[in-house]
């Protein structure tokens, strides 16, 4: 009898291990550690990839591979005539994850939605300061406190947002990571237990993957959520293997230690593309690298001077040397993957002779200027110092003397915002929500002068178009105005638009179903591993 027991136990063990061995695990070599798992507290893409995308959902989601929104936890919504009231109908029967310490007793309802936003904007909410220094950066920087007058529960599955003014980009905001919907029931339970900080460390959401464990700076583990409202995932487990060095990520991918890797070194792309076991996906990033003049200072306050200088910049040489080919020449302030991109714009042609003549015609001689070079590498500008040197040589060719200056990054950001700044700055932008307003108003609007508007450029005609576009209900109507605004931008040339960088995602050839997001998000729902 005891032999039989042993045999049975062994068989069961083998069966268990056998099943475990067949579990499909997708490993993603990520570039860094998440700061936490409550996406509303943070601003980095690394954190969003680890929290907002696998674990949570939002009322609206970005349609895969696009910057357009589609229904998420809200199955539909209505906008009132005056554009002030947005009423969302929630999906029925949406389940929350469970964990060792939490078992949900109810499905998603309006209370969860209200809690998720109220905690960010209402200082009376007990979760407003549940971790020390919680600043709800995105909620504030997307102007939600000024925009949202109230959020009300109409019934269990209906929520109404009332705005202070019509604002079309509001919908895109709701698809952003900070608008992830949390479980109020879980938050209440944690509060009662005196451990509210667990909301940020042991997350519970409605998303495609459940959080299993975070091994600090080493790995994050998730398992597929069996009750996911949009269907069960093809893989069983998802692992983020945190690997900060790009060369090491590449080695791990080649050795089969991971299936997908983040941010390859541009210099390694060729060898990655030649490896038969790998596929390299590419897409223009939702970004722009620009060179902003200070349009309040002589002689850069004149569009003809700015346009003349723009003609002296050899952008293709910059793409080759600085982006190592992984970029495209930018002619508009918004990237080509974004709706309302004006493809009819004609870029200033690289022509040093014409540039020199135009400067003379404008009466500018013996011009000397400063070029500000960022001290850090960013996707929109991988090496600003090198770029500044190339531009220095370009300007020298037309008789403009250039001095390159740089500061520590925090210092650079602060000083470059100053209205009396001396010189033109190299900087860039990566879109937050795929809405053109997020580029045109944030970077070039009159309100942003002295802040993110580094050109200090306030053009009334441009600003009026961008402000009006915000209030229009349909995308077509808005696109029309944004297209016109881009023409004014090109005519006035507050910036030289340099490049849109290309984002590459290398992966093992057996990976299927991965869709690159123009927003740069890494999302793994729908991804499978072919046998």
Partner 1 sequence: MLRFFLSRLALIIPTFIGVSIISFAFIRLLPGDPIMLLAGERGMSAERYAQLSAEMGFDRPLVAQYFDYLMGILQGDLGTSIVTRRPVLDEFFTLFPATIELALCAIVLATALGIPLGVLAAVKRGTWIDQTVMGTALVGYSMPIFWWGLLLIILFSGTLGWTPVSGRISLLYFFPPVTGFMLIDSLLSGQDGAFLSALSHLILPTIVLATIPLAVIARQTRSAMLEVLGEDYVRTARSKGLSPRRVIGLHALRNAMIPVVTTIGLQVGVLLAGAILTETIFSWPGIGKWMVDSVFRRDYAVVQGGLLLIAIIIMFVNLLVDMLYGLINPRIRH
User: How near is the Cβ of 137 to partner 1 at its closest, in Å?
Assistant: 7
Give the pair of three-digit tokens for residue 370.
């400063």
> Which CB atom, from 140 or from 324, has the smaller least distance to partner 1?
140
- Apex 438 CA angle, 407 and 121, nearest 5: 90
Give the pair of three-digit tokens for residue 52.
């907002």
Q: Does 98 bind partner 1 (CB under 8 A)?
A: no
Dihedral (C-alpha) 11, 16, 19, 25: value to the nearest 10 degrees? -150
By CB under 8 A, what part of segment 6-35 binds partner 1? 25, 27, 32-33, 35
Helix axes 475-492, 460-471, angle to 10 degrees: 170
Q: Does 90 bind partner 1 (CB under 8 A)?
A: no
User: How near is the Cβ of 333 to partner 1 at its closest, in Å?
Assistant: 14
Q: Does 137 bind partner 1 (CB under 8 A)?
A: yes
- One of 257, 301, 351, 528 touching partner 1 (CB under 8 A): 257
> Which CB atom, from 197 or from 389, has the smaller least distance to partner 1?
197
d(CA 202, CA 212) in angstroms, rounded, equals 8
Q: Does 126 bind partner 1 (CB under 8 A)?
A: no
For 130, what's the count of Cα atoms within 13 Å in the CB-facing half-sphere? 22
By CB under 8 A, what part of segment 387-426 binds partner 1? 407-411, 413-414, 417
User: How near is the Cβ of 190 to partner 1 at its closest, in Å?
Assistant: 15
Q: Tell me the number of residues near partner 1 by CB under 8 A.
A: 51
Q: Does 252 bind partner 1 (CB under 8 A)?
A: yes
Q: Does 427 bind partner 1 (CB under 8 A)?
A: yes
d(CA 499, CA 382) in angstroms, rounded, equals 11
Q: Does 345 bind partner 1 (CB under 8 A)?
A: no
> Which CB atom, from 154 or from 212, has the smaller least distance to partner 1?
212
User: How near is the Cβ of 530 to partner 1 at its closest, in Å?
Assistant: 20
d(CA 447, CA 458) in angstroms, rounded, equals 8
Neighbours of 420 (CB within 10 A): 9
* Alpha-carbon distances, residue 298 vs 295, 312, 406, 418, 501 (angstroms): 8, 19, 22, 16, 31
Q: Does 209 bind partner 1 (CB under 8 A)?
A: no
Residue 253 near residue 506, CB atoms below 8 Å:
yes
User: How near is the Cβ of 101 to partner 1 at its closest, in Å?
Assistant: 14
* Alpha-carbon distances, residue 292 vs 48, 185, 309, 394 (angstroms): 29, 48, 12, 16
Q: Which residues bind partner 1 (CB under 8 A)?
A: 25, 27, 32-33, 35-36, 41, 43, 131-135, 137, 140-141, 200, 213, 215-219, 221, 239, 241-245, 247-248, 251-252, 254-255, 257, 407-411, 413-414, 417, 427-429, 442, 451-452
């Amino acid at each position: 009898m005891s032999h039989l027991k042993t045999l049975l136990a062994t068989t069961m063990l083998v069966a268990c291990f056998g099943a475990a061995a067949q579990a499909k695990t997708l490993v993603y070599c990520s570039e860094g550690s998440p700061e936490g798992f409550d996406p509303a507290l943070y601003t980095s893409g690394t954190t969003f990839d680890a929290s907002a995308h696998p674990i949570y959902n939002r009322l609206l989601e970005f349609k895969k591979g696009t910057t357009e929104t589609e229904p998420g936890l809200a199955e539909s919504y209505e906008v009132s005539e005056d554009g002030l009231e947005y009423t969302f109908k929630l999906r029925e029967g949406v389940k929350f994850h469970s964990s060792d310490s939490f078992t949900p007793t109810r499905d998603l309802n309006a209370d969860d939605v209200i809690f998720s936003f109220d905690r960010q904007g209402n200082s009376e909410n007990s979760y407003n300061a549940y971790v020390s220094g919680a600043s709800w950066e995105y909620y504030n920087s997307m102007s939600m406190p000024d925009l949202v007058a109230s959020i009300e529960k109409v019934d269990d599955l209906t929520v109404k947002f009332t705005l202070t003014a019509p604002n079309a980009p509001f919908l895109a905001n709701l698809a952003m990571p900070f608008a992830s919907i949390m479980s109020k029931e879980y938050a209440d339970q944690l509060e009662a237990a005196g451990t509210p900080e667990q909301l940020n460390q042991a997350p519970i959401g409605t998303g495609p993957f459940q959080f299993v464990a975070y091994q600090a700076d080493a790995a994050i583990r998730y398992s597929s959520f069996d009750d996911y409202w949009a269907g069960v995932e093809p893989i069983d487990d998802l692992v983020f293997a945190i690997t900060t060095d790009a060369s090491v990520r590449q080695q791990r991918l080649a050795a089969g230690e991971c299936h997908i890797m983040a941010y390859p070194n541009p210099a390694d792309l060729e060898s990655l593309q030649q490896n038969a076991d790998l596929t390299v996906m590419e897409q223009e990033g939702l970004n722009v690298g620009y060179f902003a003049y200070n349009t309040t200072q002589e002689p850069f306050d004149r569009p003809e001077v700015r346009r003349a200088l723009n003609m002296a910049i050899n952008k293709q040489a910059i793409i080759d040397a600085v982006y190592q080919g992984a970029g495209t020449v930018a002619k508009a302030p918004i990237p080509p993957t974004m709706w309302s991109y004006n493809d009819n714009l004609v870029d200033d042609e690289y022509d040093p002779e014409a540039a020199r003549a135009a400067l003379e015609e404008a009466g500018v001689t013996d011009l000397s200027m400063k070029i500000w070079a960022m001290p850090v590498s960013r996707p929109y500008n991988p090496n600003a110092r090198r770029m500044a040197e190339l531009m220095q040589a370009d300007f020298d060719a037309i008789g403009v003397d250039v001095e390159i200056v740089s500061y520590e990054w925090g210092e650079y950001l602060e000083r470059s915002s100053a209205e009396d700044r001396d010189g033109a700055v190299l900087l860039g932008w990566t879109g937050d929500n795929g809405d053109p307003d997020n580029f045109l108003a944030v970077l070039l609007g009159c309100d942003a002068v002295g802040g993110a508007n580094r050109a200090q450029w306030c053009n009334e005609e441009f600003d009026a178009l961008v402000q009006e576009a915000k209030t229009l209900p349909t995308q077509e109507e808005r696109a029309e105005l944004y297209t016109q605004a881009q023409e004014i931008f090109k005519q006035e040339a507050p910036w030289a638009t340099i490049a849109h960088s290309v984002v590459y995602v290398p992966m093992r050839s057996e990976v299927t179903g991965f869709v690159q997001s123009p927003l740069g998000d890494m999302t793994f729902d729908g991804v499978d591993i072919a046998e």
